């Protein structure tokens, strides 16, 4: 009851400062000043009096259904905004006043009972829980995927172990037969005498196919052959006959071959022949060769770089490529010789 006179006095001073007369306040109304909505009704009366003094039309009295809602939180703001809009004030101000009342309405919901807010929160919680992927389903997915990976890894290891066991269980049996390398031939040696494969029976023979005009590969291979022959004789006290067969019969005559083989080793035997005879022996020993034309009669011959070790029956035993040096070639041949004794 003591707050009402003070409020009336403050409002009267404010109105008087603005040139407006103070509002009358009968003592009979002081009793209800503290009732819910009293401030809104009092404010409405002040605003109506102020508008009437300035020449503006008084606000329309709310209907009976609206009187009940005038005591709700934010009612004064909405009511005042309606008066300002009716009086011709800026609509932005009224809109701002209406917006200021929205949080309270959202908090309490329609009718002030708070049921609408609770239902919205419940619906929001339900929508989250009813999403396409929940934490539980995501966890189950991880566990299932991990189990599949572990199972697959175990099966893979088991399969590898089975393959290893099967491989180790296979018995190593001796190879059957020999490669189809070698055969009869009729050629001329570097002294011009006819030579066949039978002339080498009872001796271990090391054959190499090349040509005398070879710039670098053939000299290197023949030098390696000569060194290996000497090492074999020194280490194993065994004789191996080195043989050079040309793949360039057009230029490698008997005289040309003789001069050529004498440069590498005194025991090296050089063989040549006609084009057909060379083609036949090269085919029997699976030797590739092809003449490459360059300028006139000066050409090179592309050919296989292989040495063939033949046993005393002139049967193929093993071949040695360019990757062997003199020492490894000698050791490999010694191993084969001792293995066939």
Binding site, annotated residues: 214, 218, 303
Tokens of 9: 């006095």
Task: State how far the Cα of 313 lies from the Cα of 339, in Å rounded to an integer.
Answer: 15
Q: What is the DSSP string of 138-182?
A: HHHHHHHHHHHHHHHHHHHHHHHHHHHHHHHHS--PPP-S--S--
The gap between the terminal CA atoms of the chain, to the nearest Å, is 135
Contact partners, residue 254, CB within 8 Å, separation at least 6: 188, 189, 190, 191, 192, 272
SS3 state at 196: strand
- Cβ distance 209 to 290 under 8 Å? no
- Residues placed in the known binding site for Cu cation: 214, 218, 303
H or E stretch at 90: none
């Amino acid at each position: 009851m003591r707050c009402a006179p003070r409020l009336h006095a403050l409002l009267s001073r404010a109105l008087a400062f603005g040139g407006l007369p103070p509002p009358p306040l009968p003592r009979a109304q002081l009793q209800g000043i503290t009732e819910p909505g009293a401030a809104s009704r009092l404010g409405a009366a002040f605003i109506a009096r102020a508008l009437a003094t300035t020449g503006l039309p008084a606000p329309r009295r709310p209907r009976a259904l609206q009187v009940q809602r005038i005591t709700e939180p934010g009612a004064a703001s909405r009511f005042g905004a309606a008066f300002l809009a009716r009086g011709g004030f800026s609509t932005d101000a009224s809109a701002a006043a209406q917006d200021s009342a929205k949080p309270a309405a959202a908090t309490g919901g329609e009718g002030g009972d708070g049921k609408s807010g609770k239902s919205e929160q419940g619906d929001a919680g339900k929508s989250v829980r009813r999403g396409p992927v929940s934490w539980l389903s995501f966890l189950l997915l991880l566990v299932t995927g991990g189990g599949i990976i572990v199972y697959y890894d175990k099966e893979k290891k088991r399969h590898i172990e089975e393959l290893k066991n099967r491989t180790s269980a296979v018995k190593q049996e001796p190879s059957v037969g020999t490669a189809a390398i070698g055969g009869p031939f009729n050629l001329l040696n570097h002294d011009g005498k006819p030579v066949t494969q039978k002339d080498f029976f009872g001796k271990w023979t090391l054959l190499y196919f090349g040509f005398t005009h070879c710039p670098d590969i053939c000299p290197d291979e023949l030098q390696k052959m000569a060194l290996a022959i000497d090492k074999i004789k020194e280490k194993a006290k065994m004789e191996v006959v080195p043989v050079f067969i040309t793949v360039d019969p057009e230029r490698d005559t008997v005289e040309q071959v003789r001069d050529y083989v004498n440069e590498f080793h005194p025991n090296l035997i050089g063989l040549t022949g006609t084009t057909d005879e060379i083609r036949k022996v090269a085919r029997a020993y699976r030797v590739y060769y092809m003449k490459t034309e360059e300028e006139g009669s000066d050409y090179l011959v592309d050919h296989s770089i292989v040495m063939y070790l033949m046993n005393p029956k002139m049967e193929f035993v093993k071949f040695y490529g360019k990757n062997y040096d003199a020492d490894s070639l000698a050791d490999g041949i010694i191993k084969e010789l001792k293995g066939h004794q």
